[in-house]
Chain A
Amino acid sequence: MSVLRVSGLNKTFAAGGMFKAIGKAKRAVIDTSFDLVAGETLAIVGESGSGKSTTARLAMQLLAPDSGNIFWDGEDVTHLTGKALRSRRSHIQMVFQDPFASLNPRMKIWESVAEGLRVHRPDMTKTQRRQKVAETLALCGLDDSGMDRYPHQFSGGQRQRIGIARALIVEPKVLVLDEPVSALDVSVQAQVLNLLKDIQAAKNLAYLFISHDLSVVRHIADRVSVMFAGRVVEQGNVEDIFEHCAHPYTRALLDARPITHPDERNRVDEVLVIGEGMSDSGCAYQPRCAFKQESCASFDGELDAQGCACLFPLNSQK
Chain B
Amino acid sequence: MAGDHLSAYHYFPLKWLESGVLMRHTAAMLELSNLSLSVSIQGERVDAVSAVSLRLAPGRVLGLVGESGCGKSLTAQAMLRLGEHQGVEKSSGDIRLDGKSLFDMSEEQLRTVRGGHIAMIFQEPMTALNPVFSIGSQICEVIRLHLDMNKQQAHQRAIDLLQDVGMQDVEQILKQYPDSLSGGMRQRVLIAMAMAADPDYIIADEPTTALDVSVQKRIIALLLNLQKKRNLGLLLVTHDFGLVAEMCDDVAVMYAGQIVESGSVAEIFDHPAHPYTRALMACRPEVSSPGKALPVISGQVPPPGRWPSGCHFAKRCPLAADDCNNPVAADAWSRENHVTRCLHVGEPS
Contact = CB atoms under 8 A, between A and B. Distances in A.
Contacts of B183: 48
A253 B245 contact: no
A194 B297 CA distance: 12
Interface in A192-210: 193-194, 197
Given A212-B212, A212-B213, A215-B285, A260 B279 contact: no
Interface stretch (B23-31, B116-124, B156-164, B288-296): B288-296
A186 B284 contact: yes
B212 A215 contact: no
Nearest to B291: A219
Contacts of A262: 245-246, 248, 265-266, 269
Nearest to A277: B182
A185 B238 CA distance: 11
A259 B294 contact: no
Contacts, number: 96
B286 A260 contact: yes
B240 interface: yes
A48 B294 contact: no
Interface string A247-291: 000001100111111101100000001000000000000000000
Interface in A61-93: none
B239 A185 contact: yes
Given A212-B213, A253-B213, A258-B240, A238 B290 contact: yes
B67 A258 contact: no
A258 B221 CA distance: 12
B190 to A, nearest CB: 18
B132 interface: no
A47 interface: yes
B288 A214 contact: no
Contact of B290 (A186, A212, A218, A253): A218
A260 B284 CA distance: 9
B109 interface: no
B196 to A, nearest CB: 25
A186 B265 CA distance: 19
Interface residues of A, number: 34
Interface in A32-57: 47-48
Nearest to A259: B245
A230 to B, nearest CB: 16
A156 interface: yes
B280 A156 contact: no
Given A256-B214, A256-B217, A190 B285 contact: yes
B212 A194 contact: no
A184 to B, nearest CB: 9
A257 B297 CA distance: 25
A260 B246 CA distance: 8
Nearest to B276: A187
Interface string B278-312: 01100111111011011111001000000000000
Contacts of A253: 213-214
A142 interface: no
B213 A215 contact: no
A258 B283 CA distance: 16
A194 B294 contact: yes
Nearest to A217: B285
A219 B285 contact: yes
B285 A216 contact: yes
B242 interface: yes
A265 B245 CA distance: 8
B92 interface: no
Nearest to A194: B293
Interface string B174-185: 000000000100
Contact of A252 (B214, B216, B286): B214
B213 A187 contact: no
A191 interface: yes
Which 10 A/B pairs are nearest by Cβ-Cβ distance? A258-B242, A215-B286, A190-B283, A190-B294, A185-B67, A219-B285, A47-B212, A256-B213, A256-B214, A215-B285
9 contacts: A156-B68, A185-B239, A186-B283, A187-B283, A215-B286, A218-B286, A219-B291, A258-B246, A260-B242
